[in-house]
Structure 1
Amino acid sequence: MPHDTLRRPRPVRTAPRTPAGGPARRRRHWTRRPNPIAGLGSVLWLVVVIVPIYAMISASLTRQDEALGGNALKPPAHPTLANYNTVLHNGFGHLLLNTVIVAAAVVAIVLLLCVPLSYVAVRSRTFWSGASFRLFLLGVAIPAQAVVVPLYLMIAKLNLYDSLLAVVLPTAAFAMPVSVLILTGTLRDISEEMYEAMALDGASTTRMLFQLVVPMAKGGISTVVVYAALQAWNGFLFPLIFTQSDGPRVLTLGLFNYVSQFGVNIPALLASVVLSGIPVFAVYLVARRALVGGLMGVGGK
């Protein structure tokens, strides 16, 4: 075979390796294609959320004689804070205090009962614990309107009618099924090795609950706190049915102060709604990261 017919193998050129997060990965990140459909959907959803809020705030700054006519999206010609002054001097502080008490009591009851119940449902392997957990979750499928008459009779028999406790107890009861569902999904994400390590260290069940479960389940607990507080804050049916006087009245019933047989004070009504939503918005800003993390862990492993 002639020597000149032999071909030497060509050297294979390899691309230089780049460390993780280097220029190559950064280049792929910037060349990622945009998603116009997702962007359009986000813009539409933002418009759906922002426009009603803008209309509500704009109407709350409008005078009563200008509220019934014109375009709802048009800024007020003569903005005024008189509606907020009317709300603040019409018992808003008393309504806010009652609502805060109800929300705090509901959150306390839900956490006190749901955290140990979820811990038992996750850690126990007995038939009765699983059956009790599934039976408890049936409360998700029971609407409050279906049991309002039996609840009314029970509260009347217990002499709790027309009190804040008559609002707290049923609100907490209907918030517990979803709260247990959220907490069990969060507790299932705690690895078995952590429980075994604490058991080898001689930790009791109570110590595991307070030193392992509660710190590791902060996201789920924050989600439950926000959910239960919102259930109490926005509740309307139970305060309407189980209270009558002005003493235990909450914010949702306080909106009737601006409704009379001769008309509705729309600007003052919307100003009351705006003031009622400020505490909820503040809580969301503080707990939004834990809330999102808790909701992501609902499904469990």
Structure 2
Amino acid sequence: MERTIDKNADRTVDRTMDTIRKNKIKKVVYWGIAFVLAVFWLLVSSLPFVFMVMNSFKEKFEMLVSGVFSLPAALNLNNYKEVLIGNFGSYFLNSVIVLAVSLILLLFIAACASYPLARFRFKLAAPIYALIVACMSIPIHITLIPVFKMSQSAGLYDSIWALIGPYVAFGIPISVFILTSFMQQIPREIEESAEIDGCNKFQMFFQMILPLSKSGLATLAIYNGVNMWNEFSFAYTLTQSSENRTLPLAVWEFQGQYSMNTPMIMAVLTLSLLPMIIMFILFQDKLVKGMTAGAVKG
């Protein structure tokens, strides 16, 4: 009897050990596949950037002679020097000003609109929210002529300030949609405790809700910032003189001016892309937190 029990116990232990070994093997295989896919995706996504930077250091006709994927014969900085000596600094400054002012206004307006939609209970909350979300379906290009006429009537045409209004207006729907969902995940017990301590709605919004929404605001800043930085249609329609144009138009003009000098165009693209890369590196942790916020409740 005891031998039978011991044999059964040994079999149970063996089965358990086999299950543990199989699970370990499965984990190793899954992690191996995930690692291979991650490396593959890294190569695919980084190859265009490496290609662009590598060719920006080449001479004018070096790409035609040595090939587009060959390393530069020497570290040639003349392309960057020539770009920086030109009007690139003016384009860059205009983009920075438009981006900074537009983002500040957009995030503030979106936060002020999302707070009552997420935390207050009133009959028009659902229709207003649905109307704002429905505005996401409006194509940008059908508004170019009305916005152009409005800019002329307001005396803003051919100035960087003409771009701020459209950028903010078209960024509000997606920003309110994301930020409302983010604010809904904030526990209501925090507000109840603040009300007991004598906090009014304004104090609660500026001192509690906004600080707790930093991750969501950072996500929106990166998302909208990239769109504003790369926007071409409004910048081309609402500005005319070179001193009032932004970086996407600089790339367009450099492409027309240096159509036969591909390394020069690559240098312009590299300089235009660097600010967004730096911005993503600085705020990547908040971006991940903002994208995963609300995925787990409780």
With the length of structure 2 as denominator, give the TM-score of the two structures: 0.87
Q: Corresponding residue for 1:219?
A: 215
Residues paired across the two proteins, number: 285
Q: Which amino acid aligns with 1:163?
A: S
- % identical equivalent positions: 30
| Residues 204-243 of structure 1 mapped to structure 2, 5 A cutoff | 204-243=200-239
User: Is 1:50 the equivalent of 2:46?
Assistant: yes
CA spacing shift, 1:216–1:149, aligned 2, 3 Å? same
SS of aligned partner of 2:244: coil
Which runs of no fewer than 5 residues in structure 1 stay unpaired? 1-5, 14-24
Cα separation, 2, equivalents of 1:141 and 1:299: 25
Cα separation, 2, equivalents of 1:161 and 1:299: 44
Cα separation, 1, equivalents of 2:37 and 2:83: 37
SS of aligned partner of 1:64: coil
1:129 Cα shift?
A: 2.1
Q: Which amino acid aligns with 1:237?
A: S
Contact 2:119 2:183 in 1 (8 A): no
1:34 pairs with one of 29, 37, 54: 29
1:270 pairs with one of 256, 259, 266: 266
Residue-by-residue CA offset, 1:137-183 (whole Å, 9 max, x unaligned): 11211121122122112212212110111111101111111111221
User: Is 1:190 the equivalent of 2:186?
Assistant: yes
1:38 Cα shift?
A: 2.7
Cα separation, 2, equivalents of 1:135 and 1:29: 51
SS of aligned partner of 1:147: helix
Q: Which amino acid aligns with 2:27?
A: R
Q: Which amino acid aligns with 2:201?
A: T
Contact 2:258 2:265 in 1 (8 A): no
SS of aligned partner of 1:182: helix
CA spacing shift, 1:37–1:29, aligned 2, 3 Å? closer
Q: Which amino acid aligns with 1:191?
A: P
1:298 Cα shift?
A: 6.2
CA spacing shift, 1:212–1:33, aligned 2, 3 Å? same
Cα separation, 1, equivalents of 2:294 and 2:187: 16
Greater helix proportion:
2
Contact 1:187 1:217 in 2 (8 A): yes
With the length of structure 1 as denominator, give the TM-score of the two structures: 0.86
Contact 1:106 1:228 in 2 (8 A): no
Contact 1:182 1:298 in 2 (8 A): no
Contact 1:182 1:294 in 2 (8 A): no
1:259 Cα shift?
A: 3.1
Q: Which amino acid aligns with 2:55?
A: A
Cα separation, 2, equivalents of 1:262 and 1:173: 35
Which runs of no fewer than 5 residues in structure 2 stay unpaired? 10-19
CA spacing shift, 1:249–1:73, aligned 2, 3 Å? same
Residue-by-residue CA offset, 1:89-108 (whole Å, 9 max, x unaligned): 01221111111000001111
1:84 Cα shift?
A: 0.4
1:163 pairs with one of 159, 163, 179: 159
Cα separation, 2, equivalents of 1:213 and 1:300: 19
Cα separation, 2, equivalents of 1:175 and 1:256: 24
User: Is 1:178 the equivalent of 2:174?
Assistant: yes
CA spacing shift, 1:44–1:165, aligned 2, 3 Å? same
35-44 or 80-89: bigger deviation: 35-44
1:135 pairs with one of 113, 131, 138: 131
Q: Corresponding residue for 1:288?
A: 284
